[in-house]
A and B are shown apart, each in its own frame.
Chain A
Amino acid sequence: MSTQQRSTVLWLVEQSDDGSMADASVRALTFARSLADGSLSPAASSASAASQAPVSTAGGPGGVVAVVFGGAASVPLAELSSYGVRDAYAVEPADLTGYAPQAWARALAGLAAELDAGAVVAAGTDHGSEVMAHLGAITGLPMAANCVSAACGAAGELRIVRQRWAGSLLEDAVLDGRPALVTVAADAVTAAAAGDPAATAVHGYQPALEQADLRVRATESAERSAGMSLATARVVVGGGRGVGGPDGFGVLEELAGLLGGVVGVSRVVTSEGWRPHKQQVGQTGTRISPELYLACGISGAIQHMAGCLSAKHIVAVNTDPDAPIISHADYAVIGDLNQVLPALVAAIRAREGSS
């Protein structure tokens, strides 16, 4: 496939509270750009689309087109320009700022048809996954969740690699359908800087919504949980079955406090009711990305490790030198956390006292 062919790829922009683009969304942009720049053949599509006359990008501007909900005022113009995004569609009416998954998907479906988009891409976040699932249902097209890469096959087919088991397993697959619908795995794609900054033109878009599309809308309460978040903590002190029971977490809390971090736990700890589920690190809990993850008394089941793939350094404290965690960790202390951690806390306190 020639790299001259540029398909139009719609990219759902997710924004943080301050209006800036969310990290996961920027990673999805990197993925969307790779689709637009060649891995997506304009001819790569289902037989039905192949029979439609124009396989060029007729109707679409080519390249990545940002889709922003909330009206023109909420378009993160400077950021889009710095990432070289030439076209942005601001979906109106502006009252669609309130999250309404089915309405958002309806708007994307309309815009994809209007621009003859070759793909629609969103981050594999709660919102992104939900909107893309609606888009799949509305269009009747397949949707590939949590993709990590894409390439154009020899016959022009779209070959994707996607995560299963939250990233512990990869699937090589072929994705049919035009537009190709994909979400991008949160941890697996690195956000790349744009080639050239470009002026971003903002277009308004008025979707044709059906009444049922607005049945489900989010009302947000601005309550933010106080304190440090597990997802963004710089240090996480993890506790698993080896902690022994609900009363054993005091020393982990103390150590986390000394290291400026928080406590996270494995699934067995929350399933036993020793600690609340919001502290769970893993596939069914929180994904963490700390500088240091100190995993204590945790065997290292894949459901747990899926939650700490992004940890920079993993140090395991475990009585079993053959526990799976040892083959995921950078460093290990072989021993009982109930002896090692109190000694470590004492050593840190002694050091603070002497400095």
Chain B
Amino acid sequence: MEIIKIKNLSKTYTKGIFQKRQVRALDGIDLTIRKGELFGILGPNGAGKTTLLNIIMGQIIPEQGYVEIDGYQITKKFPDKLKQKMNMCSGNPNFPWSLTVYEILKFYGMLYGYSGLFLKNKIENLIEIFSLGKYRNVLYDELSTGNKQKLALAKAMINDPEILLLDEPTIGLDPDVARKIRKFIIDLHNRKKITILLTTHYMKEAEEMCERIAFIKQGKIKALGTKEKLKKLTKTKNLEEAFIVFAN
């Protein structure tokens, strides 16, 4: 069953003082994501991966195209009911710097309408899952990069999303922390069968995690399919080599 349907999606940014310079970020994207799928979006810098995720999350309005998520056409209006089912986490996350780990989770939990013992238990559970117990009263500004990323993932899980968008979630992390985060995402996907859209620069990460992959370049989908299909298509042994073929 398809949970995200994207048709002919385009986005152009205008830049410069007089807004005359135009940058085409997405150019006629067609894509469907199945319910419960762990889907990877790969592409070089500036390919349009983050813009695509931001449109799916309702943070950018495209000038053309159609995006339907779980039956809602979000380019017209992004309903709160849908926001309640979705969440996101990006690499190099930003949160209010003078709030502690516990306060950040509490604040975002409250934004989903939770309160009291229900919210408290939810936060405690997330703190335990992400091994943040030692840091519960530490200010965000004082956390290590790895713990900031764990907190970002914990925040992304505060509403038990059915659709999770991960924008380079392991960027800049130590291999050890990155491995733990990858393991968490895979476990989460296997356990809850939630739909996950993942953008990454790391081909091994995509190879290890994603069921299907779209390769984007200059705002267009250059290839789409399973890892095996992409490798076969490029006559390469791994995704890294396939990436180089597509990128050139």
Q: Do they bind each other?
A: no
